[in-house]
Amino acid sequence: MHPYDYCKPTSLGEAFQHLTSPGKVVAVVAGATDLIPRVRDGVFHPDLVVDVKGLPRLRDLTVQAGTGSLFVGAAIRMNELARSELVRSHWSVLADAAASMGNEQVRNRATIGGNICTASPAADTAPALYVLEGLVQIAGPGGERQLPVADFITGPRKTALRLGEIVIGLVLPRPPDGTVGAFEKLSRRQAGDLSIVSVAALAIPEAARPSWRLALGAVSPTPLRAAESEAILAGDLSDEAIDRAAAAAYGCCCPISDIRAGQEYRQAMVINLTRRVVRAIISRMPADPPCC
């Protein structure tokens, strides 16, 4: 295993100093479920690993006063998200996505910040964060800023982070009362494997009929929103409309073939999982949704 230096800063200022060390390949780590295999396999050779999980706010899981938004610290682990009654109260699609990741041992270490910063097209929490329209809270030597998750993930293993910046956490607006969400993931094994396809969706109550958000994972270089599918579902929830929405989701994805699945199989499974997610949401929607 490639040797590297390790530090665990106790303040953001100290972290920024390490992250901007000249002439060094620096890696940020919280759960290390991605870093350790990459270093072990010789894919990545850091000179310095900066452990950020002890920094202020990175372990916070709170509702923000005034806005009602959920703040999820970047070092919150997947099992904490999956089991949190607070998260399940209004953001259950994220809890379900977190529960699908890896196995019990991985979920006890893997963090929400690591999952989005790795920027894998198959990141389990990404489709849920897309439909929740989450914001990434970023801190760096120049101060703090926010970016929509969809703008933060720019490509496979690529993000909008600048030199010296780290993710502090995510801000998730509270969905309106009566919102129903669902998440489905297909993988080769029930536990411990990466997504072949994943789909997350929300149905948000409106005056006449619900609006929809639908996101796909593992079927393009980045997760994506299926805007045409959302528009179809907003107008009609008949079986024929659900089939058209699933076909539109098929049309907007561009998967690759790899060791886990072929391109055509992934596209076919987008249709199946989209139908399944939409029908699961419809089955849980209240008979008389609240008016807005």
Residue entry with tokens 């494997």: 193
Polymer length of the chain: 292
Token pair, residue 7, equals 């530090």
Q: Burial code of 213-248, b = ≥16 C-beta within 10 A, e = fewer?
A: bbbbbbbbebbbbbebbbebbbeebeeebbebbbbb
Burial class of residue 37 in the structure, from the number of CB atoms within 10 Å of its CB (0-12 exposed, 13-18 middle, 19+ buried): exposed
Q: Determine the Cα angle at 68 with ends 64 and 69, to 5°.
A: 70
- How high is the mean pLDDT of the chain? 93
When pLDDT is cut at 50, 70 and 90, the band that residue 192 belongs to is low
pLDDT digits (tens, 9 = 90+) for 94-133: 999 999 998 899 999 999 999 999 999 999 999 999 999 9
Complete domains list, the chain, with CATH: 5-51 (3.30.43), 61-172 (3.30.465.10), 181-284 (3.30.390.50)
When pLDDT is cut at 50, 70 and 90, the band that residue 292 belongs to is very low
Which segments within 36-134 are labelled E, that is strand? 48-51, 61-63, 70-73
197 strand-pairing partners: 186
CA distance 217 to 143: 31
Q: Determine the Cα angle at 4 with ends 115 and 12, to 5°.
A: 55
Q: Which amino acid is at 28?
A: V
Q: Phi/psi of residue 220, each to 5°? A: -165, 170
When pLDDT is cut at 50, 70 and 90, the band that residue 262 belongs to is confident
- Using DSSP bridges, classify how beta strands 48-51 and 5-7 pair: parallel, antiparallel or unpaired: parallel
Instruction: For residue 138, give the H/E element and its range.
Output: strand 135-140
Q: Is 221 helix (H, G, I), strand (E, B) or coil?
A: coil
CA distance 203 to 209: 9
Model pLDDT, residue 260: 75
Task: Say yes or no to pLDDT of 232 above 50.
Answer: yes
Task: Say yes or no to pLDDT of 198 above 70.
Answer: yes
pLDDT digits (tens, 9 = 90+) for 14-65: 999 999 999 999 999 999 998 999 999 999 999 999 999 999 999 999 999 9
CA-based nearest residue to 72, from 209, 168, 144: 168
CA distance 290 to 246: 27
CA distance 215 to 173: 17
Specify whether the CB–CB gap between 170 and 137 falls below 8 A. yes
Model pLDDT, residue 288: 60
Model pLDDT, residue 291: 46
Model pLDDT, residue 187: 83
Model pLDDT, residue 195: 83
The stretch 240-247 carries a mean pLDDT of 98
